Amino acid sequence: MAMFLVDTNVMLAASAISDLSNVAARAMPREIELRESVYEWLVAFDLSDGRIVLDDVGLVRAEYERNMPYNWREQEYGMQVLQNKIDRMQADHVPIETFEGNGEHIAVLEPAHEAIVTDREDRKWVACALAALILFGESPPIVYGAETDWYIARAQLEVLGICFQPLLPTDWYRVKVDQQ
Protein backbone atom coordinates (compact mmCIF):
# COMPACT_ATOMS: atom_id res chain seq x y z
CA MET A 1 0.00 0.00 0.00
CA ALA A 2 1.56 3.31 -1.10
CA MET A 3 1.14 5.99 1.56
CA PHE A 4 2.43 9.55 1.54
CA LEU A 5 2.76 12.47 3.90
CA VAL A 6 2.35 15.48 1.62
CA ASP A 7 4.00 18.60 3.00
CA THR A 8 2.01 21.79 2.64
CA ASN A 9 4.59 23.32 0.31
CA VAL A 10 3.68 20.66 -2.27
CA MET A 11 0.01 21.56 -2.02
CA LEU A 12 0.82 25.27 -2.36
CA ALA A 13 3.14 24.91 -5.35
CA ALA A 14 0.65 22.68 -7.18
CA SER A 15 -2.21 25.06 -6.42
CA ALA A 16 -0.18 28.03 -7.68
CA ILE A 17 -0.33 26.67 -11.24
CA SER A 18 -3.91 27.94 -11.61
CA ASP A 19 -4.47 31.54 -12.65
CA LEU A 20 -7.33 31.62 -10.13
CA SER A 21 -5.18 30.60 -7.16
CA ASN A 22 -4.83 32.94 -4.20
CA VAL A 23 -1.53 31.31 -3.14
CA ALA A 24 0.53 31.92 -6.30
CA ALA A 25 2.29 35.00 -4.91
CA ARG A 26 3.69 33.15 -1.86
CA ALA A 27 4.09 29.60 -3.12
CA MET A 28 7.57 28.19 -3.61
CA PRO A 29 9.39 27.42 -5.78
CA ARG A 30 8.97 30.54 -7.88
CA GLU A 31 10.20 28.86 -11.07
CA ILE A 32 7.19 27.90 -13.19
CA GLU A 33 8.76 24.73 -14.59
CA LEU A 34 9.47 23.48 -11.05
CA ARG A 35 5.94 24.32 -9.92
CA GLU A 36 4.68 22.37 -12.91
CA SER A 37 6.70 19.30 -11.92
CA VAL A 38 5.27 19.49 -8.38
CA TYR A 39 1.79 19.88 -9.89
CA GLU A 40 2.34 16.83 -12.11
CA TRP A 41 3.36 14.74 -9.09
CA LEU A 42 0.24 15.83 -7.17
CA VAL A 43 -2.03 15.11 -10.15
CA ALA A 44 -0.54 11.61 -10.46
CA PHE A 45 -0.99 11.10 -6.70
CA ASP A 46 -4.57 12.35 -6.87
CA LEU A 47 -5.42 9.92 -9.67
CA SER A 48 -3.65 6.99 -8.02
CA ASP A 49 -4.71 4.60 -5.29
CA GLY A 50 -1.98 6.12 -3.10
CA ARG A 51 -3.08 7.05 0.38
CA ILE A 52 -2.54 10.30 2.21
CA VAL A 53 -1.52 10.09 5.85
CA LEU A 54 -3.02 12.60 8.26
CA ASP A 55 -2.88 12.89 12.03
CA ASP A 56 -5.87 12.06 14.22
CA VAL A 57 -5.67 15.44 15.95
CA GLY A 58 -6.08 17.41 12.72
CA LEU A 59 -2.79 19.33 12.70
CA VAL A 60 -1.96 18.50 9.08
CA ARG A 61 -5.42 19.41 7.82
CA ALA A 62 -5.42 22.61 9.88
CA GLU A 63 -2.12 23.62 8.29
CA TYR A 64 -3.53 22.94 4.82
CA GLU A 65 -6.63 24.99 5.58
CA ARG A 66 -4.63 27.84 7.13
CA ASN A 67 -2.35 28.06 4.10
CA MET A 68 -5.02 27.42 1.43
CA PRO A 69 -8.17 29.12 2.73
CA TYR A 70 -11.36 28.87 0.77
CA ASN A 71 -11.02 30.62 -2.55
CA TRP A 72 -14.43 31.74 -3.82
CA ARG A 73 -13.27 31.64 -7.46
CA GLU A 74 -11.86 28.11 -7.42
CA GLN A 75 -10.92 25.87 -4.51
CA GLU A 76 -7.13 25.53 -4.31
CA TYR A 77 -5.98 22.37 -6.07
CA GLY A 78 -4.20 21.05 -2.98
CA MET A 79 -7.47 21.17 -1.04
CA GLN A 80 -9.26 19.43 -3.92
CA VAL A 81 -6.74 16.59 -3.75
CA LEU A 82 -7.17 16.28 0.02
CA GLN A 83 -10.95 16.14 -0.34
CA ASN A 84 -10.71 13.61 -3.17
CA LYS A 85 -8.54 11.32 -1.04
CA ILE A 86 -10.94 11.61 1.90
CA ASP A 87 -14.00 11.04 -0.33
CA ARG A 88 -12.41 7.92 -1.86
CA MET A 89 -11.45 6.66 1.61
CA GLN A 90 -7.75 6.92 0.74
CA ALA A 91 -6.78 8.78 3.91
CA ASP A 92 -5.21 7.13 6.94
CA HIS A 93 -5.31 8.95 10.27
CA VAL A 94 -2.48 8.07 12.63
CA PRO A 95 -2.42 8.86 16.36
CA ILE A 96 0.01 11.51 17.54
CA GLU A 97 0.45 13.26 20.85
CA THR A 98 0.29 17.04 21.10
CA PHE A 99 0.66 19.77 23.65
CA GLU A 100 -0.62 23.31 23.65
CA GLY A 101 1.95 26.06 23.63
CA ASN A 102 1.26 29.74 23.05
CA GLY A 103 -2.23 28.94 21.79
CA GLU A 104 -1.15 26.37 19.20
CA HIS A 105 -1.12 22.59 19.20
CA ILE A 106 2.32 21.13 18.62
CA ALA A 107 3.21 17.51 17.99
CA VAL A 108 5.22 15.81 20.71
CA LEU A 109 8.54 14.23 19.75
CA GLU A 110 11.26 12.71 21.85
CA PRO A 111 13.84 15.34 22.88
CA ALA A 112 16.49 13.84 20.58
CA HIS A 113 14.09 14.14 17.65
CA GLU A 114 13.15 17.71 18.60
CA ALA A 115 16.83 18.61 18.33
CA ILE A 116 16.73 17.47 14.68
CA VAL A 117 13.35 19.04 13.85
CA THR A 118 13.72 22.55 15.22
CA ASP A 119 10.72 23.97 13.35
CA ARG A 120 7.75 23.25 15.60
CA GLU A 121 5.41 23.20 12.58
CA ASP A 122 7.42 20.36 11.02
CA ARG A 123 7.15 18.11 14.08
CA LYS A 124 3.70 16.87 13.08
CA TRP A 125 5.12 15.33 9.89
CA VAL A 126 7.78 13.41 11.81
CA ALA A 127 5.26 12.35 14.46
CA CYS A 128 2.95 11.05 11.71
CA ALA A 129 5.78 9.21 9.97
CA LEU A 130 6.84 7.54 13.22
CA ALA A 131 3.23 6.64 14.09
CA ALA A 132 2.71 5.12 10.63
CA LEU A 133 5.93 3.16 11.04
CA ILE A 134 4.52 1.61 14.22
CA LEU A 135 1.00 1.07 12.83
CA PHE A 136 1.80 -0.13 9.33
CA GLY A 137 5.40 -1.32 9.61
CA GLU A 138 6.54 1.24 7.06
CA SER A 139 7.12 4.94 7.01
CA PRO A 140 5.29 6.87 4.31
CA PRO A 141 7.70 9.24 2.62
CA ILE A 142 7.40 12.90 3.49
CA VAL A 143 6.93 14.40 0.04
CA TYR A 144 8.33 17.89 -0.15
CA GLY A 145 8.97 20.57 -2.71
CA ALA A 146 10.57 23.86 -1.75
CA GLU A 147 11.45 22.92 1.83
CA THR A 148 15.13 23.15 2.68
CA ASP A 149 14.56 22.07 6.30
CA TRP A 150 13.80 18.52 5.10
CA TYR A 151 16.81 18.57 2.80
CA ILE A 152 19.06 19.56 5.73
CA ALA A 153 17.60 17.12 8.30
CA ARG A 154 17.03 14.24 5.91
CA ALA A 155 20.10 12.11 6.73
CA GLN A 156 19.49 12.34 10.49
CA LEU A 157 15.80 11.49 10.14
CA GLU A 158 16.40 8.59 7.77
CA VAL A 159 18.35 6.91 10.59
CA LEU A 160 15.04 6.86 12.50
CA GLY A 161 13.33 5.08 9.60
CA ILE A 162 11.70 8.17 8.12
CA CYS A 163 11.64 8.33 4.32
CA PHE A 164 11.57 11.33 2.03
CA GLN A 165 10.59 12.09 -1.53
CA PRO A 166 11.95 15.44 -2.70
CA LEU A 167 10.26 16.77 -5.83
CA LEU A 168 12.87 19.32 -6.91
CA PRO A 169 16.38 18.77 -8.31
CA THR A 170 19.13 18.34 -5.70
CA ASP A 171 20.94 21.39 -7.05
CA TRP A 172 17.93 23.59 -6.21
CA TYR A 173 18.18 22.60 -2.54
CA ARG A 174 21.97 23.02 -2.45
CA VAL A 175 21.75 26.55 -3.82
CA LYS A 176 19.02 27.53 -1.34
CA VAL A 177 20.94 26.06 1.62
CA ASP A 178 24.12 27.86 0.54
CA GLN A 179 22.18 31.14 0.45
CA GLN A 180 21.02 30.77 4.06
Share of the chain above pLDDT 70, in %: 99
Question: Is there a contact between 72 and 83 (Cβ–Cβ < 8 Å)?
Answer: no
Mean pLDDT of the chain: 94
What DSSP character marks residue 89?
T
pTM of the entire predicted model: 0.95
**DSSP conformation class of 51:** E
Domain chopping of the chain, boundaries:
3-179
Percent of all residues in the chain with a pLDDT value above 90, rounded to a whole number: 86
